[in-house]
């Protein structure tokens, strides 16, 4: 199964993508997580990406496409994947459609997690992320079992650099300008599912599972 997650920054794409990956035993591929891992490891790609990420801008398509096409070659992708944060521009979506078509394949579903900008700004202030495994939590709505510690790997949780309020606003404006048009793109492809991301995360997930049946 090949799934694309759509939605504004902080809508809950990562939260749902991890649940889908676990239930259907497919890899969760987050371009944001891959960029952050490169940044942490001080790679050339990480250094290049940091300049854009810190400003709330998108990393250029060439860099992102190279990275994702390389990731698809991994063995774990043979039964599909859930893409979180990719594609993020029309050229990225077109490149994905073309790459899949070349293999005689196509996406099964694009899931748009809808949340208003106002709600997102509130959410981002409370997000805590694991710098080791990428799990995300919220100080009020999705608390870890032990405060400040990742349930999955025991690492101390952090506030992401790009979750500062001014960067969140910039990311939202970049989303509306460059990524939101993908909703129409996948609606035209007849594979769009829209879910209400303001509901409880488990309720959102049940709706996704129902649609995937
Ligand atoms: P990326 O890491 O993809 O960031 P994003 O799209 O901005 O998404 P987030 O990870 O911030 O949010 P999310 O929707 O996954 O929400 P989450 O589940 O954590 O990208 C970062 C940067 O990398 C970009 O800005 C760009 O520079 C670069 N980049 C990445 N991909 C790129 C690409 N393809 N092209 C170019 N550049 C690229 O949830 C948010 C919070 O809400 C959490 O605290 C969570 O616990 C909570 N929450 C989740 N669901 C619920 C719920 N239902 N109710 C209440 N709280 C909830």
Please give the C-alpha separations between residue 134 and each of 1, 27, 66, 160, in angstroms, as whole numbers.
Answer: 22, 13, 22, 11
Whether residue 171 lies in the annotated active site? yes
Q: How many residues does the chain have?
A: 213
- Distance between CA 56 and CA 171 in Å, rounded? 5
Structure letter (DSSP) for residue 176? I
At residue 112, the pLDDT reads 98
Please give the C-alpha separations between residue 212 and each of 13, 60, 90, 110, 191, in angstroms, as whole numbers.
Answer: 16, 32, 25, 11, 11
Whether residue 164 lies in the annotated active site? no
At residue 164, the pLDDT reads 86
Q: Ligand 1 centre from 9 Cα, in Å? A: 4
The series of mean pLDDT values per 10 residues for the chain, 213 residues long, is 97 96 97 92 93 94 92 94 97 96 95 96 91 91 95 95 89 96 98 97 97 92
Q: Ligand 1 centre from 186 Cα, in Å? A: 20
- Distance between CA 128 and CA 148 in Å, rounded? 8
Centre a 10 Å sphere on the Cβ of residue 75 and count the other Cβ atoms it contains: 7
At residue 46, the pLDDT reads 92
Q: Ligand 1 centre from 104 Cα, in Å? A: 30
| Atom of ligand 1 at shortest range from CA of 18 | 18
The pLDDT tens digits of the residues spanning 72-102 come to: 999 999 999 999 999 999 999 999 999 999 9
At residue 165, the pLDDT reads 86
| Atom of ligand 1 at shortest range from CA of 88 | 34
Which residue of the set 2, 18, 36, 88 is catalytic? Answer: 88
pTM: 0.93
| Atom of ligand 1 at shortest range from CA of 7 | 14
């Amino acid at each position: 199964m090949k799934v694309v997650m759509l939605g504004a920054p902080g809508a809950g794409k990562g939260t749902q993508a991890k649940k889908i990956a676990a239930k259907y035993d497919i890899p969760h591929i987050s371009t944001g997580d891959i960029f952050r891992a490169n940044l942490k490891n001080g790679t050339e790609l990480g250094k290049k990406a940091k300049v854009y990420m810190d400003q709330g801008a998108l990393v250029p398509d060439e860099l992102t496409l190279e990275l994702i096409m390389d990731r698809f070659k991994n063995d774990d992708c043979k039964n599909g994947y859930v893409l979180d944060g990719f594609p993020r521009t029309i050229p990225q979506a077109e490149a994905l459609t073309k790459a899949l078509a070349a293999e005689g394949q196509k996406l099964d579903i694009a899931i748009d997690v809808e949340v208003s900008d106002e709600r997102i700004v509130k959410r981002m202030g409370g997000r805590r992320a694991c710098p080791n495994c990428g799990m995300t939590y919220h100080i009020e709505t999705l608390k870890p079992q032990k405060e400040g510690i990742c349930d999955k790997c025991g690492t101390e949780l952090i506030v992401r650099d790009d979750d500062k309020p001014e960067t969140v606003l910039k990311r939202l404006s970049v989303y509306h300008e460059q990524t939101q048009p993908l909703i129409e793109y996948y609606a035209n492809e007849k594979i769009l599912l829209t879910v209400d991301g303001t509901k409880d995360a488990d309720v959102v997930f049940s709706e996704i599972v129902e649609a995937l049946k």
